[in-house]
Structure 1
Amino acid sequence: MNDTHVNEDLKAIKFSEADYFGNVLQTRKYLAQSDFFWLRKAVPKTEWFTNPTTVNAFYSASTNQIRFPAGELQKPFFWGTEYPRSLSYGAIGVIVGHEFTHGFDNNGRKYDKNGNLDPWWSTESEEKFKEKTKCMINQYSNYYWKKAGLNVKGKRTLGENIADNGGLREAFRAYRKWINDRRQGLEEPLLPGITFTNNQLFFLSYAHVRCNSYRPEAAREQVQIGAHSPPQFSQPANMNEWPLSK
């Protein structure tokens, strides 16, 4: 809220109403220089690098943090207490699980509890992990996205696929645990006017936050350079094995 500080920080940028491209280049240069400022400095373990209005969530391996800006803590992610908890567990609950699981994916697992790059798994655990990831890489590489006209890149998207699978399972188990522990196994009241069970609402809520619309050009770019699988594939393939999800 300090105008003097903001103006001083941005004084090197001279925006022009007639040169959008030049404005973008200036902004990117400014951001790059801001990043270089941290080069060879100690990582500040408690620093936030995210604008609070951002509608997204993050995992930071170097600080061992999961971050949920205020912009994420609203509908359709967090529904509050006036709605069935199944909706929140299926949305923000899955996102929380997703970010937690990043700490144990193919990259996050290499960092210790202090955020330092320090292999802390046993050799046996690493080998078993790598063997299991081969199955997931093959699974996602076989998915064909018609909109893009391309197959998903299973190796590129491995970290996010691990987080998607782990987060969804963790959140669903957490929801069922909440039902058993806090409600003594009594199911929540159903939403009026619809016949969906709360287990089904959990997965509909998850599908809701994953739902996106792509043009073919954007779809191809997502496959070619994106770290995430297309939204329609951001779920476990063997969900029929989940007896409570039906």
Structure 2
Amino acid sequence: MLKEGEVKPLWTSETIRQYKVQKECVREQIYNASKFYFNFSDSLMSTMEDDMKKITRATINEASGLDIARSAYEDWINNSPGEKYLRHLPGVTFNPKQLFYLTYTQSQPYTK
């Protein structure tokens, strides 16, 4: 039983360790892609460390939010009897999962 004002950690130490490993993997992917795409030198990339941390956080947050939304959408599709029509929309060749991602990408800003 928790005492008043006491907070129970939501993550175990193993969960935190695994999160840090995954976070570093995302950071490395962003670093390598940025370096390759923009042809930046290692010295220039090292000056962007704070930006890389922000970008990594934003990428993880967006991916997590998208995963939560996708899971909720799939639950809605599978558990809402009145919404089963989405499985067979006339003239639409996409399945519900593909429709979810199409809708997501259409909501994102596009720049040339």
TM-score normalized by the length of structure 2: 0.61
Matching of residues 117-156 of structure 1 within 5 Å:
120=9, 124=13, 125-144=15-34, 149=38, 154-156=52-54
Paired-residue identity, %: 26
Matched, 1:199 2:97: yes
Specify every segment of 5 or more residues in structure 2 that has no aligned partner in the other structure, as ranges. 1-6, 46-50
Shift of 1:131: 2.4
Matched residue SS, 1:195: coil
Q: Is 1:136–1:154's contact at 8 Å kept on the other side of the alignment?
A: no
Q: Is the 8 A contact 1:137 1:154 kept in 2?
A: yes
Name which one, 1 or 2, has greater alpha-carbon Rg: 1
Does structure 2 conserve the Cα–Cα contact (< 8 Å) formed by 1:139 and 1:154?
no
TM superposition shift of 1:172: 1.3
* Correspondence for 2:59 among 131, 148, 161: 161
Q: CA RMSD in A?
A: 3.8
Instruction: Give 1 or 2: higher helix fraction.
Output: 2
Determine the C-alpha separation between the residues in 1 that align with 2:98 and 2:34.
Answer: 26
1:104-129 CA-to-partner distances (Å, cap 9, x unmatched) read xxxxxxxxxxxxxx9x5667143332
Deviation of 1:168 after TM superposition, in Å, equals 1.5
Aligned pairs, number: 97
Scaled by the length of structure 1, the TM-score of the pair is 0.32
Gaps of 5+ in 1: 1-117, 215-246
Are the aligned partners of 1:188 and 1:198 in contact in 2 as well (CA < 8 Å)?
Answer: yes
CA shift in 2, pair 1:159/1:177, >3 Å: same
Aligned to 1:98: none
Which structure is higher in RCO with an 8 Å CA cutoff and minimum separation 6? Answer: 1
Q: Which string of whole-angstrom CA distances, capped at 9 and with x for unpartnered residues, describes residues 11-63 of structure 1?
A: xxxxxxxxxxxxxxxxxxxxxxxxxxxxxxxxxxxxxxxxxxxxxxxxxxxxx
